[in-house]
């Protein structure tokens, strides 16, 4: 992505330099020459004076002519698909330049499961996204990836929080999750994507086919998104600060009926549902149908001539007292304008990074304060990351990747769906200034501003994730890597509806405290070995042993009719007459073993084979483990002798792959029977009965998605045009469905 951006800039420069090719300078020092590559002329190459806007382009024969201010300038020669070259004039009138092809794209290293690989050696369907030149303002990773990769889709998140669902090559499951697995800096990430700051991301690699994702086995059926965050760069410490401020608004105003349009709608609905009524019965007395006069219209309900026709008409339309009063007084409520807003979005980020022979570091701090287009939709977050690598000795490297995030979502937004259906003749407030619970007096249409204005809420989530890793270089080409990842999540979601509020009136005040926390850890032990035999046989072996444990704790306390006073709200939830307490804790464990072998023959024929065996505590006692194999083949056809004569083809590779991946996202206790209790009367006494809501399933096992993939990678015309063509077939079997019993009546 970075290379493409540079090429785009060069293309822009190419067109702009056309107007610079004729300059008038004081000393008239002329330089001429020819630009070639592999003995052939390069047409349209840029020749620019370094540090200045003066420049020209080569003609159809690759020749150029440039007039300089002095004979000591430096010229920069560049063209799409070639490496730039700088040459100092030093009084020379003729300078010929040979440009070399830029093969950086093929030599680019991409992240694969538990390792890296040169792009040209890939056998699977992997797409890399670089964020180096990203300038768009995004809140989450999903927004960053939207519309960037074929086969990848991200849903739109219109709220202040942003985000949205992600899919790789469509849905593959009915009951279980279809979201891709997230891998952060080489370790499976169990947290929420919104806690990862897009400003911290260096690259994102999307593993789309069964072969490339199979090394993650039990959770990779929906594909894998591998995120690599920024590290320190060689040189002096660098401080970066960026600030993005913008506005968000409705791109299309679909306004509901105004007052008069609403009257017409009510009239037409009454006519449709009451066809037996006489002509004009529901019409405005000031605009009756032809042939119907006011006296006739009044006679439909036996009204006298001194009656108020407007009131009669509004009653026929079944208007409430409030609607009638507001219509007669000309008071119209614009619920639409009151519910939507021009939203302010703010994003601030600062980072410090650096690197020397021993230490590499990157630290960042970011803050987001976003409003949504719906009044009350507000999202605040602070995110910080620390990446640290230390070369202890020649054979030992240790590192730390840690990030912390806090999210504040303590405001209830306006119920805009209720607002766009509300009568414009209803009232938002009572005469005394308090919120009117039912704007139309019908006890059905509730006030859309009830929770926004009346509820006291505190909803804050904090997360901390840290990974400790060590890399030991062993004899004979072996490398051992160990990483331990620890994830923690704490959420407090407390709210209080006072007795004067719509939600709390029937409870005489209602207080709720919810506390949720989660902890998970994962240990990866990886052994790598690579060796080259006779310069043409390259072997790369990866072995993995993995352990994990995930736990959650949640508790809830609620109460109503707080005494002697409700002034403390949810801060004093115990001071009530109707306490309710609940809790729910869960735990699950897993382990895995994986082996992968990459074989490269003459940089031409590429083979990959992997096998992973996963165990997970949530599955039935008869199927605690599952196996996930994969194979792939790549053929770099452009390296064959019969292709050498085709000079305009720079890269042509055929890829074939097959793999099986699993899905375990069904619930920690789905294989077990579930019991519930119910109170009932027995011989005049209240007793508690136990009944089953779900049967046990000792045969419950992984969903498995089998995927075939064929792909062609190509680059032509000096790497100026490159791309990938893919075709794939996937099928899922052993769908995760649990057996449930019907409710007992």
Chain segment 444-502, per-residue pLDDT in tens: 889 999 999 999 999 999 999 999 999 999 998 899 999 999 999 999 999 999 999 99
- Whether the predicted pLDDT of 679 surpasses 90: no
Q: What is the DSSP letter of 337?
A: H
At residue 722, the pLDDT reads: 81
- Whether the predicted pLDDT of 339 surpasses 50: yes
For 432-487, give the secondary structure using H, E and C.
CCCECCCCCCCCCCCCCCHHHHHCEEEEEEEEEEEEEEEEEECHHHEEEEEEEEEE
- Whether the predicted pLDDT of 363 surpasses 90: yes
Q: Identify whether the C-beta of residue 610 lies closer than 8 Å to the C-beta of residue 596.
A: yes
At residue 362, the pLDDT reads: 95
22 burial level (CB within 10 Å; 0-12, 13-18, 19+): exposed
3 state DSSP class of 644: helix
Sorting pLDDT into bands at 50, 70 and 90, what band is 744?
very low
Q: Identify whether the C-beta of residue 85 lies closer than 8 Å to the C-beta of residue 101.
A: no
Q: Identify whether the C-beta of residue 278 lies closer than 8 Å to the C-beta of residue 300.
A: yes
* 555: nearest Cα among 586, 599, 590: 586
At residue 17, the pLDDT reads: 37
What span, in angstroms and rounded, lies between the C-alpha atoms of 240 and 245?
Answer: 17
Alpha carbon 375 to chain centroid, angstroms: 23
- Whether the predicted pLDDT of 19 surpasses 50: no
Element (H, E) at 538: strand 537-560
Q: What angle do CA 714, 720, 726 make, to 5 degrees?
A: 25
Whats the size of the chain, residue-wise?
A: 745
Element (H, E) at 511: strand 510-533
Element (H, E) at 30: strand 29-37
Q: Look at 165-179, 518-532, 649-663 and tell me which has the smallest mean pLDDT.
A: 165-179
Element (H, E) at 406: strand 396-408
What span, in angstroms and rounded, lies between the C-alpha atoms of 430 and 373?
Answer: 27
Pairing of strands 181-184, 456-473: unpaired
3 state DSSP class of 284: coil
3 state DSSP class of 334: coil
Extended strands (E) in 602-736: 605-616, 625-636, 649-663, 674-682, 685-694, 703-716, 721-733
9 or 144, greater pLDDT: 144
- Whether the predicted pLDDT of 603 surpasses 90: no
251 or 6, greater pLDDT: 251
Element (H, E) at 489: strand 478-497
Complete edge-to-edge strand list for the sheet that includes strand 224-229: 126-130, 201-207, 224-229, 181-184, 187-188
At residue 4, the pLDDT reads: 39
- Phi-psi region for residue 404, left (φ > 0), alpha (ψ -120 to 50) or beta? beta
Alpha carbon 318 to chain centroid, angstroms: 48
At residue 102, the pLDDT reads: 63
Task: Give the chain's radius of gyration (CA, Å).
Answer: 35
Q: Identify whether the C-beta of residue 167 lies closer than 8 Å to the C-beta of residue 153.
A: yes
Q: Identify whether the C-beta of residue 471 lies closer than 8 Å to the C-beta of residue 479.
A: yes
To which residue do tokens 């300089």 refer? 68
Q: Look at 68-72, 459-463, 508-512, 543-547 and tell me which has the smallest mean pLDDT.
A: 68-72
Contacts for 323 with CB less than 8 Å, ≥ 6 apart: 314, 423, 425, 426, 440, 441
pLDDT tens by residue, 388-413: 999 999 999 999 999 999 999 999 99
Tokens of 654: 């055929």
Q: Identify whether the C-beta of residue 173 lies closer than 8 Å to the C-beta of residue 222.
A: yes
Q: Look at 139-153, 315-329, 362-376, 631-645 and tell me which has the smallest mean pLDDT.
A: 139-153
696 or 584, greater pLDDT: 584
Q: Look at 209-213, 483-487, 682-686, 740-744 and tell me which has the smallest mean pLDDT.
A: 740-744
Q: Identify whether the C-beta of residue 54 lies closer than 8 Å to the C-beta of residue 74.
A: no
* 222: nearest Cα among 181, 165, 176: 181
Q: What angle do CA 625, 627, 630 make, to 5 degrees?
A: 160
Q: Look at 264-273, 288-297, 638-647 and tell me which has the smallest mean pLDDT.
A: 638-647
Strongest mean pLDDT among 24-33, 108-117, 280-289: 280-289
3 state DSSP class of 280: coil
What average pLDDT does the chain have?
85
Q: Identify whether the C-beta of residue 319 lies closer than 8 Å to the C-beta of residue 327.
A: yes
**349 has which bridge partners?**
242, 366
Fold assignment, 2-102 = Immunoglobulin-like (2.60.40)
At residue 743, the pLDDT reads: 43
Q: Identify whether the C-beta of residue 401 lies closer than 8 Å to the C-beta of residue 386.
A: yes
Contacts for 115 with CB less than 8 Å, ≥ 6 apart: 528, 540, 542
Calculate mean pLDDT across residues 227-238: 86
What span, in angstroms and rounded, lies between the C-alpha atoms of 23 and 445?
Answer: 74
Cis amide bond preceding 564, omega within 30: yes
- Whether the predicted pLDDT of 165 surpasses 60: yes
At residue 57, the pLDDT reads: 87
To which residue do tokens 């420049």 refer? 55
- Whether the predicted pLDDT of 25 surpasses 60: no
Calculate mean pLDDT across residues 234-251: 87
Q: What is the DSSP letter of 130?
A: E
Q: Domain segments of the chain: what residues?
A: 2-102
Cis amide bond preceding 717, omega within 30: no
- Whether the predicted pLDDT of 89 surpasses 70: yes
- Whether the predicted pLDDT of 3 surpasses 60: no
Q: DSSP secondary structure string, 49-109?
A: ETTSS-EEE--TTSEEEEEESSTT-EEEEE-TTB--EEEE-TT-SB--EEPPB--HHHH-E
Say what angle helices 309-316 and 321-329 make with each other, to 10 degrees: 140
Strongest mean pLDDT among 53-62, 117-126, 147-156, 731-740: 53-62
Q: Identify whether the C-beta of residue 35 lies closer than 8 Å to the C-beta of residue 14.
A: no
At residue 180, the pLDDT reads: 87
Sorting pLDDT into bands at 50, 70 and 90, what band is 15?
very low
Using CA of residue 34, residue 40, residue 41, residue 44, what is the dihedral sign? negative
Alpha carbon 506 to chain centroid, angstroms: 40
CB atoms within 10 A of CB 538: 17
pLDDT tens by residue, 183-222: 998 888 988 888 999 889 988 888 888 788 888 877 777 8
Q: Identify whether the C-beta of residue 32 lies closer than 8 Å to the C-beta of residue 65.
A: yes
Half-sphere exposure of 347 (CA within 13 A, CB side): 17
- Whether the predicted pLDDT of 1 surpasses 80: no
Tokens of 350: 């600062």
CB atoms within 10 A of CB 432: 5
Q: Identify whether the C-beta of residue 554 lies closer than 8 Å to the C-beta of residue 515.
A: yes
* 679: nearest Cα among 664, 691, 697: 691
Q: Does pTM surpass 0.85? A: no
What span, in angstroms and rounded, lies between the C-alpha atoms of 73 and 50?
Answer: 7
At residue 410, the pLDDT reads: 93
Sorting pLDDT into bands at 50, 70 and 90, what band is 519?
very high
Q: What is the DSSP letter of 579?
A: -
To which residue do tokens 């690699």 refer? 205
115 or 354, greater pLDDT: 354
Q: Identify whether the C-beta of residue 83 lies closer than 8 Å to the C-beta of residue 99.
A: yes
What span, in angstroms and rounded, lies between the C-alpha atoms of 242 and 175?
Answer: 42
3 state DSSP class of 236: strand
The distance in angstroms from the start CA to the end CA of the chain is 61
Contacts for 275 with CB less than 8 Å, ≥ 6 apart: none
What span, in angstroms and rounded, lies between the C-alpha atoms of 144 and 147?
Answer: 9
- Whether the predicted pLDDT of 573 surpasses 90: yes
């Amino acid at each position: 992505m970075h290379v493409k951006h540079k090429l785009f800039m060069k293309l822009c420069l190419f067109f702009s330099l056309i107007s610079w090719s004729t300059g008038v300078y004081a000393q008239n020092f002329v330089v001429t020459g020819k630009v070639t590559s592999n003995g052939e002329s390069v047409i349209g190459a840029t020749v620019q004076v370094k540090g200045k806007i003066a420049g020209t382009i080569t003609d159809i024969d690759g020749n150029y002519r440039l007039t300089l201010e002095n004979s000591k300038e430096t010229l920069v020669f560049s063209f799409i698909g070639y490496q730039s070259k700088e040459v100092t004039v030093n009084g020379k009138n003729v300078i010929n330049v040979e440009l070399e092809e830029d093969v950086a794209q093929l030599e680019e290293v991409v992240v694969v499961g538990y390792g890296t690989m040169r792009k040209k050696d890939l056998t699977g369907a992997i797409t890399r996204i670089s964020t180096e030149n990203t300038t768009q303002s995004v809140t989450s990773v999903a927004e960053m990836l939207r519309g960037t990769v074929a086969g990848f889709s991200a849903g739109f998140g219109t709220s202040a929080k942003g985000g949205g669902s992600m899919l790789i090559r469509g849905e593959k499951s009915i009951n279980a999750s279809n979201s891709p697995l997230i891998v952060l800096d080489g370790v499976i990430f169990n947290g929420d994507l919104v806690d990862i700051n897009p400003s911290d991301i260096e690259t994102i690699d999307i593993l789309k086919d069964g072969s490339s994702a199979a090394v993650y086995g039990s959770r990779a059926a929906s594909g894998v998104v591998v995120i690599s965050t920024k590290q320190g760069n060689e040189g002096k410490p660098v401080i970066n600060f960026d600030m993005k401020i913008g506005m968000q608004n409705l791109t299309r105003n679909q306004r509901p009926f105004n007052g008069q349009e609403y009257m017409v709608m009510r009239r037409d609905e009454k006519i449709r549902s009451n066809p037996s009524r006489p002509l004009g019965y529901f019409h405005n007395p000031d605009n009756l149908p032809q042939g119907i006069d006011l006296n006739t219209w009044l006679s439909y309900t036996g009204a006298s001539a001194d009656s108020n026709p407007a009131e009669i008409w509004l009653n026929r339309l079944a208007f409430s007292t409030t609607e009638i009063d507001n219509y007669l007084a000309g008071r119209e409520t614009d619920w639409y304008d009151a519910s939507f807003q021009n939203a302010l979005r703010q994003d601030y980020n600062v980072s410090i990074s650096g690197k020397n022979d021993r230490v590499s570091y990157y630290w960042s701090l970011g803050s987001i304060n976003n409003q949504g287009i719906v009044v009350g939709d507000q999202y605040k977050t602070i995110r910080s990351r620390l990446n640290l690598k230390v070369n202890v000795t020649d054979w030992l490297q240790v590192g730390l990747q840690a990030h912390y995030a806090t999210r504040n979502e303590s405001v209830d937004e306006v119920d805009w769906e209720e607002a766009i259906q509300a009568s414009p003749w209803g009232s938002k407030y009572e005469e005394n200034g308090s919120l009117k619970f039912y704007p139309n007096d019908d006890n059905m249409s509730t006030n859309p501003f009830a929770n926004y204005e009346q509820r006291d809420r505190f909803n804050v989530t904090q997360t901390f994730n840290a990974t400790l890793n060590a890399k030991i270089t062993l004899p004979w080409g072996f490398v051992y890597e160990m990483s331990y990842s620890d994830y923690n999540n704490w959420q407090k979601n407390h709210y209080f509806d006072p007795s004067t509020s719509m939600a709390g009136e029937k409870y005489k005040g209602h207080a709720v405290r919810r506390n949720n926390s989660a902890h998970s850890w994962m240990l990866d032990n990886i052994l790598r070995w690579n060796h080259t035999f006779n310069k043409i046989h390259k072997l790369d072996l990866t072995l993995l042993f993995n352990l994990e444990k995930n736990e959650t704790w949640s508790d809830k306390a609620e109460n109503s009719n707080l005494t002697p006073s409700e002034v403390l709200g949810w801060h004093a939830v115990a001071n009530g007459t109707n306490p309710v307490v609940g809790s729910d804790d869960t735990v699950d464990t897993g382990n895995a073993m994986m082996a992968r072998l990459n074989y490269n023959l003459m940089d031409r024929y590429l083979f990959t084979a992997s096998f992973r065996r996963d165990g997970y505590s949530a599955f039935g006692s008869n199927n605690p483990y599952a196996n996930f194999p994969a194979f792939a083949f790549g053929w770099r056809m452009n390296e064959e002798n019969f292709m050498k004569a085709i000079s305009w083809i720079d890269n042509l590779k055929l890829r074939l792959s097959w793999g099986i991946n699993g899905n375990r996202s069904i619930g920690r206790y789905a294989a077990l029977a579930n019991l519930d209790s119910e109170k009932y009367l027995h011989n005049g006494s209240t007793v508690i009965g136990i009944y089953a809501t779900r049967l046990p399933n000792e045969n419950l096992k992984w969903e498995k998605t089998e995927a075939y993939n064929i792909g062609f990678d190509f680059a032509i015309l000096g790497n100026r045009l490159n791309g990938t063509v893919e075709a794939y077939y996937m099928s899922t079997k052993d769908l995760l469905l649990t057996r449930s019993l019907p409710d007992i009546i």
